Structure 1
Amino acid sequence: MRFGTIGAGTIGQAIARHVVKAGYPITLSNSRGPQSLAEVIAEIGPPASAGTVAEAAQADIVFLAAHWKVVGDVLDALPHWNDRILVDVTNTLDFVDGGVVPVDIGDKTGSEIVAAHAPGARVVKAFNTLHASYIEPDPRHEAGRQVVFYAGDDVDAKATIRSILDEFGFASVDVGPLHEGGQLMDVNGGPLSGLHVLKQD
């Protein structure tokens, strides 16, 4: 199984480290090109590599960790996804004058918009409710495992992501389909956004 990231900021790198620790290859990409990721790849170590967005998007499971304002353009430039899994890590936020402001997207959730720009992708929402400081470390703590909420419309895709999250050491919690679950996870008022929870096994 191969992984990829579209976006290689703090969140993308944190997820990539879990992928590598689990022994899977991952291709990181960003808007500046593979050469800009040389130091990041050297720090993460093999089997991580850098590639173009198009190359990273050919992986079996791709994490979308780009800024919301570029998501549509980035996805529109890619070919049909052919049933590959796209994990939406984004939040509907924009950066204005050094601050973060919510983006009004109407009645749809961000992941529903992502899915509309990614024909053929099986979209699962995950990781967007957590700050990077809760994603980066080992998710197994003395008090329990770090919970990651996820949502999606494709049952098999969700099962795959649940298995991967569990393999990484997270405690996965299914919160429903993209619309209803996405509303719960929405950074703009969703009750699960920013919620740091540990599950006791």
Structure 2
Amino acid sequence: MSYAIVGFGKIGQALAHAFARRNIDVTVASRRPPEALAQQARAIGPTVVAKSLREALEADTIILAVPFGEHSEVAKALPSWKGKTVVDAMNALVPPEELDGLVSSAFVAKAFTGAKFVKGFNHLIAAALATDPIVEGGHRVVFLSSDDEDATVPVASLARQLGFAPVKLGRLNEGGALVHARGRIWGPLIFQDLFKKEQ
């Protein structure tokens, strides 16, 4: 399984730290050329490699960490997203009426035709996401939701590899609505820094 993070702001870099901590290879890309990201990527760790957007999109699993308004440009970079898993780590700071009455991930998913689409890694602030998720025998929780139950399986596996405790919330418009930000409306689980003790 290969991984890419598209977007290299605070959230993208925080996720890159999570991959580097576990020595898991990950490609990072943004609208800037890869050479503009290379020094920062190397500083995070040797498993973090900056590449072009097109190269990054060759990965099996792509984590979207771009500003919400840029997701459609990323979606246009491939003619079909069939066979890809897309993880939406964005928050939509736009008025709900701009989302056609949908939760933000359902709105975004329409642009990624054919992809397995999962909401995840979006409810934590970057500083929490970047730190070691294992504290005093507990694992920091990340919430996952998708309209495709099968899609959450590999993302939950990745979350566990990164040291997190994945918690599935069900469909996007049901449990997933708890971690969606729309305009000034914040889901009640956003910013909740929770830990799950090992059984």
2:100 and 2:107 in contact (8 A); partners too: no
Query: What is the one-letter code of the residue matched to 2:56?
Result: A
Q: What TM-score, normalized by structure 2, do the two folds share? A: 0.90
Measured in 1, the distance between the counterparts of 2:11 and 2:69 equals 17
- Work out whether 1:146 is the aligned partner of 2:140: yes
- Provide the C-alpha distance between the structure 1 equivalents of 2:13 and 2:145, rounded to a whole number of angstroms: 22
Indicate whether 1:121 and 2:111 are aligned: no
The answer for the alignment partner of 1:19 in structure 2 is: 19
Question: Any conservation in 2 of the 1:150–1:173 contact (CA below 8 Å)?
Answer: yes
Alignment of 1:20-99 (within 5 A): 20-93=20-93
Tell me the distance in 1 between the aligned counterparts of 2:16 and 2:137. 25
Q: Is the 8 A contact 2:4 2:57 kept in 1?
A: yes
Cα pair 1:20 1:46 within 8 Å, conserved: yes
Distance across 1 between alignment mates of 2:27 and 2:6 = 9
- Work out whether 1:183 is the aligned partner of 2:177: yes
Residue 150 (structure 2) pairs with residue 156 (structure 1) = yes
**8 A contact 1:6–1:30 mirrored in 2:** yes
What letter corresponds to residue 66 of structure 2 in structure 1?
A
Q: Residue 110 of structure 1 is aligned with which of 94, 99, 104?
A: 104
What is the one-letter code of the residue matched to 1:17?
H
Which string of whole-angstrom CA distances, capped at 9 and with x for unpartnered residues, describes residues 139-168 of structure 1? Answer: 000162211111012222211111111111
Conserved? CA contact 1:152–1:181, under 8 Å:
no
Q: For structure 1, which segment, 32-41 or 74-83, has the greater mean C-alpha deviation from structure 2 after superposition?
A: 74-83
Q: Does 1:2 align with 2:2?
A: yes
Tell me the C-alpha RMSD between the 2 structures: 1.8
Q: Within 1, Cα distance between the matches of 2:130 and 2:45? A: 15
Match in the other structure for 2:189: 192
**How far, CA to CA, are the matches of 1:140 and 1:41 in structure 2?**
23
- Alignment gaps of 5+ in structure 2: none
Amino acid across the alignment from 1:43: A
Measured after TM superposition, the shift of residue 49 of structure 1 is 1.1
Q: In 1, are the aligned partners of 2:18 and 2:129 still within 8 Å (CA)?
A: no
Taking only the aligned residue pairs, the percentage that are identical comes to 36
| TM-score scaled by length of structure 1 | 0.89
Aligned-partner Cα distance in 2 for 1:55–1:139: 29
Matches of 1:184 and 1:158, distance apart in 2 = 17
C-alpha separation in 1, matches of 2:81 and 2:22: 25
